[in-house]
Structure 1
Amino acid sequence: MTHAFALLLESPVLVAVVLVAGIGGTFQYGFHISVLTSPSVYIKELVNSTCDQRYGRSLEAWELSLIWSFTVSLYCIGGLFGALGAGHLAAAYGRKRCLLLNNIPAICGAVLMLLSKTAHSFEMIMAARFIYGINAGVALIVHTMYVLECAPKRLRGMVGVSVAGFVSLGKFSGQLLGISEVMGTEDRWPFLLAFSGLIGCLQLATLPFLPESPRYLLLERGNRPGCEKALRQLLGASKDLSVEVEEMQAEHTALRGVRSHSVLEFLLSRSVRWQLFTILVTFTTLQLCGINAVYLYSFDVFRAAGIPAHNLHYAALGTGLCEISTTIACGMVIESTGKRVLLIRGYLGMASTLLILTITLYLQTYVSWMPYCSMGLIFIFIFFFSSGPAGVTAPLPGEIFAQSFKAAAFVVACTLNWVGLFFVGMVFPLIVEHLDYFCFLIFFFFCLSSGVFVWYAVPETRNRSIMEISAEFERMHSKGRTAPESKLNTVYLTDMLKGQATKL
């Protein structure tokens, strides 16, 4: 843990890449998931007053609920559009330039949010939510690709966890800025919802000073001098870069003549079938693991434990702080523990916690001290989620796929994420209404199944190159037949062995 962190600190430009890419990347995604909760009352008042001013009538409860649900869901629809186009944009313009251009939607959405109250237009809020979704959909993919491709193999795990770390930081910032003492008031809520524009301007001012992804420059542009220059900036001129460059050059040789695959080709390719199954399972479970249910029920549990209603938002900040601190701890231990172990431990720990939480929620009306057990279990569940699935899942497509499949893999993974988020937002309230706390048993099934799948079907990725990981997937699941694309792995490994033999 200390060694990996010390290595990261020896590369200040890489640290800057992680911070600058993160603040304008997945931070935006996390921020917009949580920020709308606090000003919801004021936005609904704006919708009602606007309709009364325009049409001379107040909305009925079901009409207001429908408009509000649509406003919330537009973020997921925009995110899906952004995710579907992100792979093409990242390949056409490069990771760095794509992130720069992606700040334009964030700033446009912020302007609409700022003017919405003055213009008495809730439609501007809807449009801004859709635009924010596009921004977050692109950022979720391109930010992850950029930082993973900038990081050396020995730091890829720690840098990858930063993706989830900025999601947690974004959620916590939305909660913190939304309290009444900061921006969660009737006068200041437009500034709260426009905060993303300030973040976009910050990244626009700082990102141009950082290098482009070395892997993108070499593997997709064939620019070896540019790749070496970017590596020297990232890791320092005094470092020995030969190993990093040789590994990328070997992959470049193996992929010569192999173009980037489309999403359809990716879905139909037999050579990456088990990697595809891994993405389908992990990203589906990320939304259906029960984390949203736990956050929803946390208010009821805190209230049952005796916390006053006006202090519930501060208790919720405690859950957000728990998620951030655990994610940071995950980043510190991931290089020594391994990603596969963290995933298995996280999924099985979450499954066990959900089962016990269901029992304590059932008993809390019969036993006076049971709400305190439920409160502890909520924090334990967040701990398991943040220390495993949250930190490891997001960068997974960038670690288990070769460059020719990477863009398509991220598009599929993030499409699953956005569809899952939309599904949970629309269907989850109905599930809770009919099943109450027994809904946790559904999430228990997903967590347990995912833990078993990773145990038997996913290899360790720590300290391995992408092509070595591909070869390990093939070794685990091969039945004696070799798919045509797997020859790329043979070429790569042969080149690596030749390089090692020359050095010896």
Structure 2
Amino acid sequence: MTTTRPKTQYLSLLGDSPILIAAIFVAGIGGTFQYGFCASVMTSPSAFIKELVNQTCLQRYSVSLDQWQVSLIWSFTVSIFCIGGLLGSLVSGQLISKYGRKQTLLFSNCVAISGAVLMLLSQRATSFEMIIVGRFLYGINSGVNLAAHTMYIIECAPKNLRGMVGVTPATFLSLGKFSGQLLGISELLGTRERWPWLLAFTGFTALLQLATLPFLPESPSFLLLYRGDRRACDEALRRLWGKHDYSGAVEEMLEEKAALQSVRNHSVMELIQKQTLRWQLLTIIVLFVTMQLCGISSVYFYSYDVFREAGIPEHQLRYANMGTGLCELATSAACFMIVENTGKKVLLFRGYMGMSATLILLTVTLNLQSHFSWMPYCSMFLVFLFIFFFAGGPAGVSAPLPSEMLTQPFKSAGNTLACTISWTLMFLLGILFPFLVEKLQYFCFLIFLFFCAACALYVKINVPETKNLTALEIAAEFQRMHCRSGGERSQSKTEQKPDDTKL
């Protein structure tokens, strides 16, 4: 059992590692920040982009498009980001294993800069196709970054700070969403003249990481386990951990290296077929399916209607909606502060149970808001409450779990599977959600309620606490929870292959 420490003590431990703090910010601004920014930035310039679509066709083909044709091209422009993200997630595992976490992030930045150049020149060239290709490249960049950023930052952190550091990808993702909303207002970059600069902003964050990340060390475990460079690993740990003693961590990695001498990196299919990892695999699938089907997209979608019904003027709705992004960012930062003391299992369970209860109440209040003058204010409160539960648990805790629960040969496959699930469901939900809204209206929340409640129960019953545990210790906890008897446990151990005992 680990002892509970005051929150200030964890912050003090983090403060003793200035290079690790720099790695958190540098990896974050060129990592999940870009994904969050791209996910939210398209709302503000939508009218200008649709105008460019019509202008392009009129100038090039002397054809004026109907409204439904413009909407179709617009939908494809938005959704191709998910297709790029899926492609990026599929290749990320091989890139991370072959070239390392740091080099993969640097390569991904070059893709983002290429997309930014296309975005910047699209209006001058009168070409909406450049925006489509730029969005596709942004998607590839985000798909690679989701895996590479999370693995890099987790492997750079000491074990006793891994939970706190593991929340930072979600915090930067929330910061990216809020930044997209903020820069998109008409007082900044959301204007007819400046919107190409808004879409190209991701390129500037990529340039920032490209200029700073080379000065930071590669992941210590990658240096030792993949390249066999003990000296480089020691140097990376010394720089990253500062005053922390890293000798024990090196010994753990050497033990893992000895156990995995003849074990290569495994594919996603091999991970799926691995019997000894079936509960870790099932946990990844359940958590990442629920992350996309928990209803957060629908809550954001309906927030405009809720704010409008609450009496907020039409021209101020964009500013009110920024409050949702700020709420998610603030709650994610709070999750960073409490995760080490509270534990990830508790945050997941409480988060999904809170979201389930909020969805029930939100369904009721949205259906009754035309009957009572004060009901829209209840709906507005519930929107913020739902975001609070989401960002304070599932959003921050889920992303690093594949890297924490799986050993080195399976980490890339686990992250690839998780990202593939996320991008595929995001794309399908983007296509199907308008039809769900049309057919079910506010009752569509009941579908998302099922996934939230089911995931909460799954976590409560089947998932151990992972705080301050290595992947081997987490595997032992899964085995302890799911072996019905000591005899069965002994039998399962004797049936394992030599390399399985470490997995």
Structure 1 residues 178-226: Cα deviation after superposition (integer angstroms, max 9, x where no partner): 0000000000000000001111110011001100000111122222211
C-alpha contact 1:467 1:489 (8 A) present in aligned 2: no
Distance 1:352 1:149 in 2: 36
User: 2:477 is matched with which residue?
Assistant: 472
User: 1:19 is matched with which residue?
Assistant: 25
Pairing partner for 2:399 from 387, 390, 394: 394
C-alpha contact 2:41 2:184 (8 A) present in aligned 1: yes
Distance 1:459 1:486 in 2: 24
Equivalent position SS for 2:167: helix
Report how far residue 307 of structure 1 moved: 0.4
User: 1:277 is matched with which residue?
Assistant: 282
Report how far residue 325 of structure 1 moved: 0.5
C-alpha contact 1:113 1:124 (8 A) present in aligned 2: yes
1:377 aligns with 2:382: yes
Count of residue correspondences: 491
Equivalent position SS for 1:36: coil
C-alpha contact 1:27 1:169 (8 A) present in aligned 2: yes
Structure 1 residues 163-184: Cα deviation after superposition (integer angstroms, max 9, x where no partner): 1001100000000000000000
Where do residues 167-186 of structure 1 align in structure 2 (5 Å cutoff)? 167-186=173-192
Distance 1:436 1:246 in 2: 57
Q: Structure 2: which amino acid aligns with 1:355? A: I
Distance 1:216 1:465 in 2: 16
Pairing partner for 2:78 from 62, 68, 72: 72
1:301 aligns with 2:306: yes
The alpha-carbon distance between structure 1 residues 162 and 485, as it changes in their structure 2 partners (threshold 3 A), is: farther
User: 1:339 is matched with which residue?
Assistant: 344
The alpha-carbon distance between structure 1 residues 306 and 313, as it changes in their structure 2 partners (threshold 3 A), is: same
User: 1:259 is matched with which residue?
Assistant: 264
Structure 1 residues 428-471: Cα deviation after superposition (integer angstroms, max 9, x where no partner): 11101110010000000000000000000100000111110011
Pairing partner for 1:58 from 64, 85, 89: 64
Q: Structure 2: which amino acid aligns with 1:333? A: I
Moved more, 48-57 or 451-460: 48-57
Q: Structure 2: which amino acid aligns with 1:409? A: G
The alpha-carbon distance between structure 1 residues 161 and 486, as it changes in their structure 2 partners (threshold 3 A), is: farther
C-alpha contact 1:165 1:327 (8 A) present in aligned 2: yes
User: 1:47 is matched with which residue?
Assistant: 53
1:359 aligns with 2:388: no
Distance 1:55 1:221 in 2: 56
Pairing partner for 1:241 from 237, 240, 246: 246
Q: Structure 1: which amino acid aligns with 2:240? A: L
User: 2:3 is matched with which residue?
Assistant: none
User: 1:216 is matched with which residue?
Assistant: 222
Report how far residue 489 of structure 1 moved: 6.8
Report how far residue 478 of structure 1 moved: 2.7
User: 1:501 is matched with which residue?
Assistant: none
Where do residues 61-140 of structure 1 align in structure 2 (5 Å cutoff)? 61-140=67-146
C-alpha contact 1:71 1:125 (8 A) present in aligned 2: yes
C-alpha contact 1:285 1:450 (8 A) present in aligned 2: yes
User: 2:4 is matched with which residue?
Assistant: none
Pairing partner for 2:43 from 37, 61, 70: 37
User: 1:495 is matched with which residue?
Assistant: none
Distance 2:388 2:497 in 1: 38
Equivalent position SS for 2:467: coil
Report how far residue 63 of structure 1 moved: 1.1
Distance 2:423 2:502 in 1: 37
Structure 1 residues 386-434: Cα deviation after superposition (integer angstroms, max 9, x where no partner): 0100000111101111111100000000000101110111111110111
User: 1:429 is matched with which residue?
Assistant: 434
Report how far residue 488 of structure 1 moved: 4.4
Equivalent position SS for 1:446: helix
User: 1:144 is matched with which residue?
Assistant: 150
Distance 1:249 1:456 in 2: 34
Structure 1 residues 104-163: Cα deviation after superposition (integer angstroms, max 9, x where no partner): 111100110111111110110000000110111100100001000001110001111001
C-alpha contact 1:34 1:175 (8 A) present in aligned 2: yes
Q: Taking every aligned residue pair, what percent have the same amino acid on both sides?
A: 60
C-alpha contact 1:271 1:486 (8 A) present in aligned 2: no
Distance 2:137 2:62 in 1: 30
Q: Structure 2: which amino acid aligns with 1:110? A: A
Report how far residue 367 of structure 1 moved: 1.0
User: 2:9 is matched with which residue?
Assistant: 3
User: 1:496 is matched with which residue?
Assistant: none
Moved more, 215-224 or 200-209: 215-224
C-alpha contact 2:92 2:144 (8 A) present in aligned 1: yes
User: 2:161 is matched with which residue?
Assistant: 155
Distance 1:394 1:487 in 2: 30
Distance 2:475 2:119 in 1: 45
Moved more, 62-71 or 439-448: 62-71
1:482 aligns with 2:492: yes
User: 1:502 is matched with which residue?
Assistant: none
Moved more, 242-251 or 153-162: 242-251
Distance 2:127 2:139 in 1: 19
Where do residues 307-318 of structure 1 align in structure 2 (5 Å cutoff)? 307-318=312-323
**CA RMSD after TM alignment:** 1.2
C-alpha contact 2:472 2:502 (8 A) present in aligned 1: no
C-alpha contact 1:87 1:410 (8 A) present in aligned 2: yes
Unaligned runs of 5+ in 1: 493-504
